[in-house]
Structure 1
């Protein structure tokens, strides 16, 4: 039996803050939160103020640590990406393959099957394409986009059984409700994105089992006074989850505040980084499908653009997203932390993460008073 006691910091358990208490971790799991004067025997970890919170969970991570998943869809790439984000408090993530060839997709699925067998931060796989709409391609390659075929459904169902957590982003125009239903019933998390769908198409996708939308407002049909589009339909639907990029470039802060007020049902807004390889790296540029992406400085954080100015993913980590939420979105610290942990855990059905409750994984991040990540633990092990 191995027991570790964390003390000296406020504790946020996913619901409430605890002051003057200690967190007890036993064999990589949460045992209890107890009063500071009633401590059992074990290894003491004395923290200097700040907040001890559930580790962050990121459903959309294209790269990190100098590596893009598309460059080499392998377990090694997935581990490099996870290691690149762990200094910023992310303990679980979905390496994300953007639109690519069928060969790259097969390689990513095979890599995820191996990667999830370890405990190195890879919680599953996110396939963002190739079943997207060329009209809303963003930085993806339109020539590789295509409709879903029955063989794709079989491939994804088989992949989900082997990987566990499989998220796929699809345009509502490229997949039928029958196909969405088959995927959803098999446990695949279907998210609608890079889509020019109208409200009727979006509603049909949601009714068939689509669970969320990918990076709300970006690369999708927008809200009009007579045409709600995908963005408006997702906000109006009480159970649809919405990932959102909080970097000051992808979505205006006023629009984000409106969206936060709109999502009051079971489905919530949650942070995704949509990060590229530069997070956790000293590089200033990288290549995406043969095109150079460069870093440009911004007011809150830098942004990543193609030569024509198209946004190409984000250059943000999860702690920065939390700071953005507190600074510009009128969020409480508790709600900002939930958007980085409890909500993505619920969306991805990671039932043992997102909270510091007895029996759950001891995935932890210690944040300073300035909300900078000071230390990260995965299953009780310091990273």
Structure 2
């Protein structure tokens, strides 16, 4: 068996940083993590000469990258372009994300994800963020395309789950009954609450029915209030629920994110998402979105009326922000970018470096700047 030994860097295995460790790789799989003084004599060796070797980042909300948006014509090739653009920033697994669109575009996205499954590196499935969202919390989505979920819609999604390895669906409580949430969850679909003005009780009922996540916590949802804790309060107090957060310094105040991180009851966790748009990996200053123009200004993406439209950020930048600005430390920031999202989607082969894990790594310096991305 041909074995490659990676050594000379500290190794973050998903739980903690290990000093003087070596990672043994055979094919596309980690076969062991050992002390660097125990490397087999017949292994090929590569000295990384410092830095930290970490699991590849996993981003469960990626609308676009490399100059393209998934909504502009869903295809496996477009998903591949998006994945390639984000790989430069350490993301080795992602869910291409379709924001609210027509039924035909949604069906095209499902077909594209099915085609990409197992053949397009980095594409783990599909995130459908709409159309079953609440117009009152529409954000940059088109309200006229939002609608309640029907039994037929649920059947389409359940059938799609058989073709797409990971299917995450963002829904508003106002548009989807708890009965349908239970059906989706029982079928293996990850149901996430988002773009909803539901109260605390309604949100908890949705979680009791099987919803397991919230989409971009704090953004486009009811807030923590003195008489109604809202969706935010329901997320923070529901132990089995996780939530994506956009850690870019624009979507949520840093102190708010610190409070949420401290308050979140486990085992559910806060995990990092980029909510990235087409501009990631490009120098462009604008791009089209559902017939409108999104402008890139001072680290934000905005519509004409100032509404935030996704984020101009990559995952490595989110990790640095969480580690340094939020003060969560490198290890927790890395878990939020790899282990926690992997756990949410039930992928035990990602988010860690250990026996049986995918050999997908990011070599970063001590400031978590990407030196190299390795996918075997």
TM normalised by structure 1 equals: 0.96
Counterpart-to-counterpart distance in 1, 2:281 and 2:43: 33
Match of residue 358 from structure 1: 355
Match of 1:374, SS state, is: strand
Give the root-mean-square deviation of aligned CA atoms.
Answer: 0.9
Counterpart-to-counterpart distance in 1, 2:46 and 2:263: 41
Match of residue 344 from structure 1: 341
| Deviation of the 1:44 alpha carbon | 2.3
Match of residue 229 from structure 2: 228
Match of residue 311 from structure 1: 308
Counterpart-to-counterpart distance in 2, 1:29 and 1:119: 18
1:325 aligns with 2:322: yes
The C-alpha deviation readout for 1:29-68, integer Å capped at 9, x for no partner, is 1111122222122332221211100000000000011110
Match of residue 177 from structure 1: 178
Counterpart-to-counterpart distance in 2, 1:201 and 1:36: 53
Out of 117-126 and 82-91, give the one that drifted further: 117-126
Match of residue 289 from structure 2: 288
Counterpart-to-counterpart distance in 1, 2:254 and 2:160: 37
Counterpart-to-counterpart distance in 1, 2:44 and 2:179: 54
Match of residue 274 from structure 1: 275
Match of 1:280, SS state, is: coil
The C-alpha deviation readout for 1:269-311, integer Å capped at 9, x for no partner, is 00000000111122221000111111111xxxx1111111100
Out of 363-372 and 33-42, give the one that drifted further: 33-42
Question: Between Structure 1 and Structure 2, how many residues are aligned?
Answer: 375
| Contact persistence 2:217–2:232 (CA under 8 A) | yes
| Contact persistence 2:280–2:314 (CA under 8 A) | yes
Residues 33-182 of structure 1: matches in 2 within 5 Å?
33-40=33-40, 41-182=42-183
| Deviation of the 1:119 alpha carbon | 4.6
TM normalised by structure 2 equals: 0.98
Counterpart-to-counterpart distance in 2, 1:39 and 1:293: 52
Match of 1:353, SS state, is: coil
Match of 1:166, SS state, is: strand
Match of residue 4 from structure 2: 4
| Deviation of the 1:8 alpha carbon | 1.1
Match of 1:231, SS state, is: helix
| Deviation of the 1:370 alpha carbon | 2.1
Match of residue 255 from structure 2: 254
Counterpart-to-counterpart distance in 1, 2:29 and 2:82: 24
The C-alpha deviation readout for 1:193-225, integer Å capped at 9, x for no partner, is 000001111011001000110000000011110
Match of 2:310, SS state, is: strand
> Unpaired runs of 5+ in structure 1?
none
Match of 2:295, SS state, is: strand
Match of 1:139, SS state, is: coil
Match of residue 18 from structure 1: 18
Counterpart-to-counterpart distance in 1, 2:278 and 2:2: 36
> Unpaired runs of 5+ in structure 2?
none
The C-alpha deviation readout for 1:94-140, integer Å capped at 9, x for no partner, is 00000000000000000000101215100000000000000000000
Q: Which runs of structure 1 show a deviation greater than 6 angstroms over 4 or more consecutive aligned residues?
A: none
